[in-house]
Amino acid sequence: MSKLDFVTKPKKIFFFYLSNKRTIMIETQILHLKRLGYEVTFCSIDVPGELHSYLKECGVNSFSLKPLPNNGIRRYFLGALQLSKLIRGKSFKLVISHLQQANMISSLAFKIFNLEPNLITFRHHYKPLNINSYIGDFVVNLLSPLQVVPALSIRNRMIKYERLKKRSVSLLRYSYDFKKYPNISQERVNSIREKYKGPLLTIISRLVPEKRHLLVIEALSKLKEKGLDFNCLIPDTGPEENSLRKEIIEKKLGEQVHFLGFRKDIMELLEASDILLHPSIAEASCSVIKEAGLVRCPVIACSGVGDFDEYLQDSVNSLVLSQEDDSEVWSKAIASLINDPSRRKRLGTNLHKSILDRFSDNEESRRDLSKLISLD
């Protein structure tokens, strides 16, 4: 039997993931499998955290690998060794892996230790953007029997440019049980609006080059030069933080741009915001845009990124710019929404409908997942 000849109705599924932070998409997928009567075991690379606590409350056995080296080849081989010990002889019929670090470890474990379960790896990015991601994609492309992506554009790119066979890349649109998002604290929303006056802009993404915060900072500098009033929140961290802070000082934007660090109150920040700015070119299927749509916050994003072209429509439910557009184009787009509250409201309302229509967890999405892992 080949690795792609999946066993019908696997009784035990091992779910391998990078993070310990809660994410509705991952929770939706795990709990759907559990509702269908399958015994799901969850394991992360990160130490146990809030995601583990939540899954345990839902009856899912959850734990993590022992701490691994922070980087280097030893991280992946030691991770593969640990994973093989957790899987071998435990009667798992299927291993589902999400995010490329976890995918590298699981792919290596299956190759080196010749594990018996079937393996499916979920890829969460559009294309490699640095040498590390190129290496990661090469390893997973070489070793994973089946990769799953959330957008047709990603699948087509992998087949055309990464030379993968069509049968080794499958398409599955991510789905979300939106009812699981916590209730928004209106008191917290009011507090954010009171602290940051004027039109409120937000950029929610890790501070890494491919998220392109610098492009927005340059656009905001132009807005300030034109005399527009605004505040911009950056609720995350990352290796680019120090250089971005220096850029803020250099452009005299210290009173307008605010670094908040990692935050858990993302929904309140979006509810308080007038516009979400998302210049990233490194997405597969971005959760924060779905979250913005839930609270009817209008979005400015780029075309040709992940699954954006499949549901973002320029001037209908968002403003969609080209990846090649410079800070002048971004500044004009931002200004057009700052100066037109009724347009912001229309775009946010339409985005809300688009998100619910396309990404809600429903019978169709559950059937697609079941078919993928041969639950039917």
User: Across the beta sheet with 61-64, what order do the strands follow?
Assistant: 61-64, 39-44, 12-17, 94-98, 118-122, 147-149, 169-171
What pLDDT was estimated at residue 129? Answer: 73
CB atoms inside a 10 Å sphere around CB 376: 9
Q: What is the DSSP letter of 37?
A: T
What's the mean pLDDT when you consider all of the chain?
A: 92
pLDDT band at 376 (very low <50, low <70, confident <90, very high): very low
What pLDDT was estimated at residue 7? Answer: 43
Alpha-carbon gap, residue 77 to 69, rounded angstroms:
10
Model confidence, pTM:
0.86
Alpha-carbon gap, residue 148 to 171, rounded angstroms:
6
Alpha-carbon gap, residue 283 to 174, rounded angstroms:
13
Q: Tell me phi and psi for residue 215, to 5 degrees.
A: -60, -45
12-177+360-372 CATH: 3.40.50.2000
The string of DSSP letters for 283-325 reads: -SS-HHHHHHHHTT--EEEETTSTTGGGT--BTTTBEEE-TT-
- Sequence-distant (6+) residues with CB within 8 A of 306 are 125, 126, 150, 151, 153, 154, 283, 284, 285, 286
What pLDDT was estimated at residue 1? Answer: 40
pLDDT band at 338 (very low <50, low <70, confident <90, very high): very high
- Any idea of the CA torsion for 22, 241, 333, 340, to the nearest 10 degrees? 70
User: Residue 164 corresponds to which tokens in the numbers above?
Assistant: 């993968």
6 has a pLDDT exceeding 70: no
User: Token match 């985005």: residue?
Assistant: 351
What pLDDT digit, counting tens, does each position of 191-230 carry?
Answer: 999 999 889 999 999 999 999 999 999 999 999 999 999 9
What pLDDT was estimated at residue 370? Answer: 85
Q: What is the DSSP letter of 353?
A: H
What pLDDT digit, counting tens, does each position of 254-279 carry?
Answer: 999 999 998 989 999 999 999 999 99
Alpha-carbon gap, residue 105 to 311, rounded angstroms:
33
Q: Where in the sequence of the chain do the CATH 3.40.50.2000 domains occur? A: 12-177+360-372, 181-359
Alpha-carbon gap, residue 86 to 101, rounded angstroms:
17
Burial label, 88 (beta-carbon count in 10 A; 0-12, 13-18, 19+): middle
Percent of the chain's residues with pLDDT above 90? 77
Alpha-carbon gap, residue 335 to 332, rounded angstroms:
5
Alpha-carbon gap, residue 128 to 130, rounded angstroms:
6
Task: Considering the domain delimited by 181-359, tell me its CATH architecture.
Answer: 3-Layer(aba) Sandwich (3.40)
8 Å CB contact between 203 and 269: no
Alpha-carbon gap, residue 183 to 134, rounded angstroms:
40
What pLDDT digit, counting tens, does each position of 44-85 carry?
Answer: 999 999 999 999 999 999 999 999 998 889 999 999 999 999
